[in-house]
A = this chain, B = another copy of it.
Amino acid sequence: MSIYAHIQSSVKMEIVEKLRTKDRRAIAKAITTLEDNYEDSDRLLHTIFKHTGNAHVVGVTGAPGVGKSTLISSLVKEFRSRGKTVGIVAIDPTSPFTGGAVLGDRVRMGEHSGDPGVYIRSMATRGSLGGLSKATSDAVKVLDAAGFDIIIIETVGTGQSEIDVVRAADTIVVVIIPGLGDDIQAIKAGILEIADIFVVNKCDREGVERAVSELEMMLDLKEKRTWRPPILKTNARLNEGTSRLADAISEHYSHINRNGELEKRRRARYSEEIRDVVNRRIGEYMYLASGKEFFDEVLEKVLRKEMDPRSAADLILNEIVKFDLRKSNKKN
């Protein structure tokens, strides 16, 4: 090992040690490092990765206005009273104009701000989708390595990107409120199918029983699995129902731990992540790999309609991969 590598390595060990004590500045720095700089980022991940995999990652999703933040705040209180530490990654769709993301969460989660057992990280949804999934998964890894028992990912559940983000969780909690009408159907497409637990929040509202029975009916229609998602009623503002919710979250974790589903999910997630990195690196170096001039030349041909985009892609692929994709691997 070179002296330089040794120095690098001890610097990283220091960060890891600080991380393990839940040092807030070390956590913040680690998350930023993973997001930002390329080489440092890889090295840091390399160092912290073996400390990950111990946290229970819980996704909480639902349309704007269903009270996710209040529910999470109440849930945090419950988990804290059970001696668990909690990290939160909040994906806040507030405009980057307003800079509202961080401030918003500070206000909402204010009551936990003095608690060293709670760490909140807000992320803006700006940037590309891949970027958001990656940033979330990186932040989760840091909080996991920092030893938080439970990591909550909060996201609005209205788009495909949000579904992708929440898939990073071991347990997926879908929050709805009674009487949102047909527009809430917008959330149903993919989210309902991946829910492990349903929460009907604001259960003092009219229509709560109808909402519950609609969900029950939907679950009746689905094929039977070993885990039937429970439907829980909460009133997060009054901390009602959150103790039962915390129980259900823990029960689900035990369940998937026992039946091998947890390992299956993690395997799928790592597989996905490896593919993402491969794709990202291919994308980042496509220019260099094929030559920027070559890429631009091909692009010009497409603009002039002399070549279609897929043929163009094949040309570029031929420049960068070792084998002939079109010849040897074509579906037929």
The residues of A with any CB-CB pair to B shorter than 8 Å are 37-39, 42, 45-46, 49-50, 52-53, 64-65, 93-97, 124-126, 128-129, 132, 156, 158-162, 164, 183, 185-186, 188-190, 192, 218, 221, 263, 266-267, 270-271, 273-275, 277-279, 281-286, 288-289, 295, 298-299, 302-303, 305, 308-314, 316-317, 319-323, 325, 328-332
Roughly how many angstroms separate A332 CA and B43 CA in the complex, as a whole number?
Answer: 13
Q: Is the CB of B93 within 8 A of A189?
A: yes
A-B contact pairs, 17 of them (CB 8 A): A39-B331, A45-B308, A94-B185, A94-B188, A95-B188, A97-B221, A124-B189, A129-B160, A159-B161, A270-B303, A271-B299, A273-B309, A274-B295, A277-B313, A278-B316, A278-B320, A289-B323
Q: Are B192 and A95 in contact, CB atoms less than 8 angstroms apart?
A: yes
A312→B156 CA distance, assembly (Å): 31
Please give the count of copies of this chain that the complex contains. 2
The contact of A317 among B42, B128, B132, B278, by CB within 8 Å, is B278
The answer on a CB contact under 8 Å between B97 and A303 is: no
A49–B289 Cα distance when bound, in Å, is: 27
Determine if B95 and A316 form an interchain contact, defined as CB atoms under 8 angstroms apart. no
Bound state CA distance, A27 and B52, in angstroms? 50
Q: Which residue of B lies closest to A221 (CB)?
A: B97
Tell me the bound Cα distance from A309 to B98 in angstroms.
35
Chain B residues whose CB sits within 8 angstroms of the CB of A332 once the complex forms? 37-39
A263 to B300, CA, bound (A): 11
Q: Are B158 and A158 in contact (CB under 8 A)?
A: yes
Is the CB–CB distance between A330 and B39 below 8 Å? yes
Name the residue in A45, A282, A288, A328 with the highest tally of chain B Cβ atoms < 10 Å from its Cβ.
Answer: A282
Q: Which residues of B contact A39 (CB under 8 A)?
A: 330-332
- Would you call B189 and A94 a contact (CB within 8 A)? yes
CB distance from A283 to the nearest CB of B (A): 6
- 6 nearest interchain CB pairs? A159-B159, A277-B313, A49-B308, A160-B161, A158-B158, A64-B183
CA distance A325 to B278 in the complex (A): 11
